[in-house]
Amino acid sequence: MTDRFNRREFMKKGATAAMGAGLAVKAGFGRGIGQDAASSRVVEVVRPGAVAAGRKVDAEAVKLMLRRGMAALTGAKNPWAEFIKPSDRVGLKINTLGRPLLFTHHELIQAVAGDLVALGVLPKNIIVWDRFEDQMRDCRFTFNTTDESIYLCYGTEALDEAQNRFDNELTYVSELDNPRQRDGGSTASRFSRIFSKECDKVINMAILKDHGLSGVTLCLKNLAYGLCDNNSRFHGPATIGPFIADFCAHPEVRKKVVLHMIDGLEACYDQGPAPRNPRVIWSADTLWLGTDPVALDAVGFKAIDDKRKAAGVSALKDTGRPCDHIELAARKGVGIADLSRIKVDRIALG
């Protein structure tokens, strides 16, 4: 098997992997977004000055952005109740790959956790997590597995390998990869036990940033590369997009991830996903919310491309990156990628 595959063949075979991911469910995430839906909806909240000079984040502004965005998204008096019950165990899947310069902002995490507690969710039933604890540590997260008075915080791949949290019973299986990159020769990727066993609902808290291979790393990639192990085997131009799309079509992912966010308070338009040059990071002062990760990624992709154009950098699709996982996910019924069918409700604050 070579590193490159015929893309049509991948899409045909990929449907049989991972318990039929991509074909078994067409209802879409959260509120029934699927390939047959006429349109999708994204709420965009902009608050100029939410991140001030010196990268100082205004925590109160972030709280307001979140609350106004959630109210607009649901139209409900108690918007969180549309997704979460007080008895739920809720996972906040953050992104820390861009450490130390860019990661899901602490202020946004605290705002979400605070609103969940106000809803009635017990702090001990809120888990803030990412795949790698060493990356979380580099982003100044304080680990907590015992203090039930505040939210829990830890990773799937722990600093102490003996504490790794993987589920051997729930796996994503695919041979459509690079065999030389398989961990131990395995074609199975184990799900995080945090996702599969410790959470009833998951909120996906992605970052607005580009990616040197996939083009962008937003909602879809935060799930595909954050919820399972043994996925470096898909790090190739012919396999990364189809993998992301197929993984996000997995029934368990679609069922459990109920809400998606793109943290655009600060963002990266080049040299991602782990930028080392502060000059490629800009304060977009924006938060995107929705139930359709494909639509969110399509909107985020455009935001990054617009910034690249303003900065005099080549468009993403002219950089040799596949940039195809958003459209591939749409074809699998995960959501809508066509910008003409995505309604963006923009809320300007301040």
Choose between 112 and 37: higher pLDDT.
Answer: 112
pLDDT at residue 34, as a whole number: 53
By DSSP bridging, strand 90-93 and strand 201-211 are: parallel
Tell me how far apart the alpha carbons of residues 136 and 129 are, in angstroms, rounded to a whole number: 8
State the average pLDDT over residues 117-129: 98
Query: Cα(213)–Cα(273) distance, rounded to whole angstroms?
Result: 9
Q: Tell whether the model's pLDDT for residue 4 goes beyond 70.
A: no
| 267, pLDDT greater than 60 | yes
Q: Which two tokens stand for residue 253?
A: 């992912």
- To the nearest 10 degrees (0 to 180), the angle between helices 106-119 and 59-74 is 50
Q: Per-residue pLDDT tens for 305-324?
A: 999 999 999 999 999 999 99
* Residue 16 confidence (pLDDT): 34
pLDDT score of 32: 44
Rg (CA), the chain: 19
pLDDT for the residue 33: 52
* Total residue length of the chain: 350
Residue 29 pLDDT class (50, 70, 90 cuts): low
pLDDT in tens, 185-230: 999 999 999 999 999 999 999 999 999 999 999 999 999 999 999 9
Q: Please compute the mean of the pLDDT values over residues 92-110 and round it to a whole number.
A: 97
CA atoms of 83 and 85, how far apart (whole Å): 7
Mean pLDDT of 259-270: 98
Q: What is the structure's pLDDT at 240?
A: 98
